[in-house]
Every structure is written in C-alpha cells, then in structure tokens.
Amino acid sequence: MPIYSVIVGIFGCSLEALLLYRGWRGRLFNHFALFFSYLAYVLVGSTATFGTYYLRPHLYPRLFWYFFLIGLLAEFAVLAQIGDHVFKSYPAIRMLGRFLVSLVVVISFASIAPSLASPLSHARALLDLAKGMMLTKAVIVVLLFMAARYVGIPLGRNVAGMLLGFSLYVGVNMANFALDIALGPGVYGQVFSTIGPLSWNLALLVWTMALWRYEPVIPARVAIRVGESKSPESLRYRLEQFNTTLGSLLRK
Amino acid sequence: MTGVFVYSTIAILALVAIAWLARERSPGAGGRTRDMASAQRTGLGVPGNGQFLKISDRIFDPGDFVWLRDAVGRRDLARQLAASRQRLAVQWLRTLRYSFNELLRTPQPAPLQGNADSAQGSWELLWLTARFHLLLAYAVSAVRIFGPYHRLVPSPNWRRFLPEPASPKRRFSTVN
C-alpha cells in the first residue's frame, strides 16, 4: 500500500473518530442516529480492512468489496433519515423526504437492473453498480435540496452540511467511476485510487464543520390567522379547501 | 468516452446546483416573498379572504373581453385586455401557491414514532399537497399557453371549441 494511501486513510479515520466524539458530546446521535451509525460502520470497516491488508492480504479484496457494497446501501438509509429530518416539523409534507428517496431508488434500480444481467466481468459490474448508485444518491440530494427550497423550509447548518458533504462525495466518485470504466484500471487505476479516498476525506471535513455542534432549525415564520386551529383535521380541511378552489377554477 | 462526459457533466452540475441551493436564506425570503409583494402591489389582495376569490372570478371571466371584441368591435383593445388579464391570472395563481406553501410551512411537533394512523394521515396530506401542486402547474401552463379565458379542462361538448357567430347576447358567455 503506497504511503499516500496510508496517510489519507489515517486522516480519514481520525476525522471519523472526531465526528463520532463530537456527535456523542453534542447529543447529535439522538437526531441523526443512522448517520452516526454509518460513520461508526465506516470507521470500524476501514480499520478492519487496513488490518486485513497487512495481516491477511489474500482476504483483503473480498473484504473490501463487501465493506464497500454494504456502505453503498447504508448511505440510502442515511439519506432517507436526512429527508425525514428536513420535513418532520411540517405535517403536510412529513413524508415528502421518504417519498422522494423511495421514488428515485425504485426508478434507478429498475434502470440499473438490466445492465447487471449483461455478461460483464465482476469488477466491471461492481463499478457499474457503484456508478449507478452514486448517480441515484446525487439525484436524491438535489431533489431534497430543491423540495426544501421550493416550499421555503430552512435546512439548518447541520442538515445542509450533511447534504453538501454527501454531494461532494457522490459527485466526485460518480465521475471517478465513469473515468475508470472508460479508461481502464491500467491507465486510470492510480488516479482512481487517489481521488476516491480524497473525496471521502473532503466530505468528512465538511461534515466536521457542519456537525461540530447541534444547531436546531428555527421553523419558517408563518402568519397564523386569528381563530385558526393547528390541528391535523384543520390542516386537512384547509388543504382540501385549496384543492377545491383550484379544482373549481379548472372546471369553469 | 461519452459516458465519462455525461457522468462528469452530471457530477459538476449536481455540485454547482447543490452549492447554489445550500446558500442559507432567511425563512420565507426570496421569490415567494417577491410574488406576495407584487401581488399586493397589483391589488390582488391576500389569499384566504373572500375578496381574493372574487378577484379570481373577475380575472377569469371573459365577459369584458367578449364585449370589447364583439359588441364594441375593438379587437386591439380586447387583445390588450386579454394580455393584461393573462398576467394577472398568472400572478393570482402564484399568490395562491405562496399562500398554500405558507400553509405547508406551518410547523407542528412530530408525532411519536411507530404511530400507524399518523403515518397514514401524513401520506394522505402529502397526496393533497402533491395534487394541488400538479393542478397548479397545469393551470399555470394552460394560462400561459392559451390565456385566461380558455377552458382549463377540455369540455366533453366538442362544439364549444368551434367559433360561434358574434352576438350581443353572448356578453357573459365563455370564449372557447
């Protein structure tokens, strides 16, 4: 293993440990349980794969790919939790994050599945799968940002930082995987193994800054009219009223 | 190589879009506030009161347009009126959207996890929200393309789409 990879790996593990420590101290665990569980998984997994590389080198490739693929799947759960967190205080759109994540995942897996059945080498199939998953996550992050922006919901420093870090990681890796598939490991392999960990460390830096302390989101200021109830029934009634107003206009 | 170009472009666009979207704004600031201010300036009023709905009746009523075009015979003025009403109609729909989004932004404490009834209710509320936005997007597109006096839902009576002879009695009829 080149010295560069060791340095980047140790730096990444230190940042992960620091983030976990800050999450524990700042009680961020309660709010972003899946995100910190994912970080703990990456920290333990990275340490285990490092150890395996030096102690049992023949097991390293298999262990790395298992660790990598489980991580790719876990990131979807993390994004779903971030989506829930963004909209949780707003009853009319409480399920919007979950809906967007599910929709994009179903569409993307439906489009990825046929390519997995084609006769490719294992390495190429894994790279294709990883590239497709990165694209899916990039779409989810952009959609979550857009939905929050469209409705006018403040994201807060913690969530905005988490999404920004994710977008850096998935954006850089998506291009990296595409380049590796196109140019081949012979030409691009060295750069590929440099850029991947670098993008992860960049994301960790963004997360460390964004999640240094818990910053509650101040809900958007809205005008509550006199005599207006905030119960779910009242909300449903008003949503239906809006739909009726628009529906009657369309039927004119 | 096409794949590289496509994926690299998507990655760069995603990063640029997210960096732009991540800029923190004060709650409620931006285009929607401008929509609201503009609506108040143009005299559309505030959504939620009766006057706002009465204004919509006036904006989408083709009576004045038909009268100018057919009874007075001033097609140029009728066209100007239609263009002005089209702008007002789009503005009215934007104001309605602003008001709806304000309702969506009303915060409430999240329910306890694992409450199936609450989850079911939340999905129903999301459907009402999505339905409103879909209808609104359709209405804005129809008004922009066809103007405010076109029937927004096609009528099953196909004869209404044919031009009819002008008559003073059609003062309050629809155009299309």
DSSP A214-234: --PPPPPP-PPPTT---SHHH
Stretch B95-99: mean pLDDT: 87
Task: Tell me whether residues A224 and B106 touch, CB distance under 8 A.
Answer: yes
Q: In angstroms, rounded to a whole number, what is the distance separating the alpha carbons of residues A171 and A169?
A: 6
ipTM (interface predicted TM): 0.77
Instruction: Provide the chain B residues 26-65 that lie in CB contact (below 8 A) with chain A.
Output: 27-28, 30, 32, 48, 53, 56, 60
Mean pLDDT value across chain B: 74
Task: Quote the number of domains for chain A.
Answer: 1
Nearest to B3 among A154, A181, A252 (CB): A181
Task: Tell me whether residues A239 and B105 touch, CB distance under 8 A.
Answer: no
Tens of pLDDT, residue by residue over B140-166, are 998 898 888 776 666 555 555 555 555
C-alpha angle A73-B12-A103 in degrees, rounded to nearest 5: 40
What is residue A203's predicted lDDT score, i.e. its pLDDT?
92
Best-predicted range by mean pLDDT (A123-127, B10-14, B122-126): B122-126
In a domain, residue A40? The reply is yes
Q: How confident is the model at residue B121 (pLDDT cuts 50, 70, 90)?
A: confident
Mean pLDDT value across chain A: 85
Q: In angstroms, rounded to a whole number, what is the distance separating the alpha carbons of residues A89 and A85?
A: 8
What is residue B116's predicted lDDT score, i.e. its pLDDT?
66
What is residue A197's predicted lDDT score, i.e. its pLDDT?
87
Instruction: Provide the chain B residues 132-151 that lie in CB contact (below 8 A) with chain A.
Output: 132, 135-136, 138-139, 151
Distance set, CA B115 to CA A94, A96, A230, B107, B120 (Å): 13, 17, 19, 19, 9
Give the burial class of A22: count Cβ atoms within 10 A of its Cβ; 0-12 exposed, 13-18 middle, 19 or more buried.
middle
In a domain, residue A228? The reply is no
Query: Which one has a higher pLDDT value, A200 or B169?
Result: A200
Stretch A100-110: mean pLDDT: 89
Q: In angstroms, rounded to a whole number, what is the distance separating the alpha carbons of residues A83 and A140?
A: 9
Share of residues in chain A with pLDDT > 70 (%): 91
Q: How confident is the model at residue A35 (pLDDT cuts 50, 70, 90)?
A: very high
- Which of A85, A86, A90 would you mutate first to test chain B, the one with the most B CBs within 10 A? A90
Query: Which one has a higher pLDDT value, A160 or B17?
Result: A160
In a domain, residue A251? The reply is no
In a domain, residue A75? The reply is yes
CB burial of A177-216 (b: ≥16 within 10 Å; e: otherwise) equals bbbbbeeeeeebeeebbebbbbbbbebbebbbebbbebee
Question: Residue A177 belongs to what domain range?
Answer: 3-221
Nearest to B129 among A92, A131, A221 (CB): A92
What is residue B23's predicted lDDT score, i.e. its pLDDT?
67
Tens of pLDDT, residue by residue over B46-67, are 555 566 667 777 888 888 888 8
Query: Which one has a higher pLDDT value, A146 or B116?
Result: A146
Q: Quote the tokens at residue B121.
A: 């209710």
Query: Which one has a higher pLDDT value, A72 or A2?
Result: A72
pTM of the model: 0.77
Closest alpha carbon to A178 in A110, A137, A130, A142: A130
Stretch A82-88: mean pLDDT: 88
Closest alpha carbon to A78 in A50, A53, A55, A97: A97
Q: How confident is the model at residue A205 (pLDDT cuts 50, 70, 90)?
A: very high
Distance set, CA B127 to CA A2, A70, B109 (Å): 54, 33, 20
In a domain, residue A106? The reply is yes
Q: In angstroms, rounded to a whole number, what is the distance separating the alpha carbons of residues A12 and A200?
A: 8
A161, amino acid identity: G
Strand intervals (E) in A161-218 = none
In this model, does residue A54 exceed pLDDT 50?
A: yes
Element (H, E) at A46: helix A33-55
Q: In angstroms, rounded to a whole number, what is the distance separating the alpha carbons of residues B13 and B115?
A: 39
Nearest to A174 among B11, B53, B103 (CB): B11
Stretch A51-55: mean pLDDT: 88
Tens of pLDDT, residue by residue over A206-244, are 999 999 988 887 766 555 555 555 566 688 888 888 888
Residue A76 main-chain phi, psi, to 5 deg: -65, -40
Task: Tell me whether residues A90 and B138 touch, CB distance under 8 A.
Answer: no
Closest alpha carbon to A151 in B27, B125, B131, B119: B27
How many angstroms separate the CA of residue A182 from the nearest CA in chain B?
6
In this model, does residue A59 exceed pLDDT 50?
A: yes
Q: How confident is the model at residue A53 (pLDDT cuts 50, 70, 90)?
A: confident
Which residue in chain B is spatially nearest to A146 when comparing CA positions? B21
Q: How confident is the model at residue A44 (pLDDT cuts 50, 70, 90)?
A: very high
How many angstroms separate the CA of residue B7 from the nearest CA in chain A?
6
Tens of pLDDT, residue by residue over A2-30, are 787 788 888 999 999 999 999 998 888 88
Interface membership of A195 toward B (CB under 8 Å): no
- Which of A242, A244, A248 would you mutate first to test chain B, the one with the most B CBs within 10 A? A242
Give the lowest-confidence range in A67-76, A114-123, A168-177, B142-151: A114-123
What is residue B176's predicted lDDT score, i.e. its pLDDT?
47
Q: Quote the tokens at residue A51.
A: 């150890």
Nearest to A243 among B121, B123, B132 (CB): B132
**Long-range pairs for A95-104: beta carbons < 8 A, 24 or more residues apart:** A95/B119, A95/B122, A95/B123, A95/B126, A96/A147, A96/B126, A96/B129, A97/A144, A97/A147, A99/B126, A100/A140, A100/A143, A100/A144, A100/A147, A101/A76, A101/A140, A104/A136, A104/A139, A104/A140, A104/A143
CB atoms within 10 A of CB A60: 17
Cα A109 to chain centroid distance, Å, stands at 16
In a domain, residue A183? The reply is yes
Contacts of A153 in chain B (CB under 8 A): 27, 105
Q: How confident is the model at residue A37 (pLDDT cuts 50, 70, 90)?
A: very high
Residue B16 main-chain phi, psi, to 5 deg: -65, -45
Task: Tell me whether residues B126 and A95 touch, CB distance under 8 A.
Answer: yes
Q: How confident is the model at residue B132 (pLDDT cuts 50, 70, 90)?
A: very high
Query: Which one has a higher pLDDT value, B176 or A38?
Result: A38
In a domain, residue A244? The reply is no
Q: In angstroms, rounded to a whole number, what is the distance separating the alpha carbons of residues A120 and B47?
A: 59
In this model, does residue B83 exceed pLDDT 80?
A: yes
- Structure-derived torsion over alpha carbons of residues B152, B154, B158, B160, reported in degrees to the nearest 10: -10
Q: In angstroms, rounded to a whole number, what is the distance separating the alpha carbons of residues A102 and A75?
A: 13
Interface membership of A95 toward B (CB under 8 Å): yes
In a domain, residue A235? The reply is no
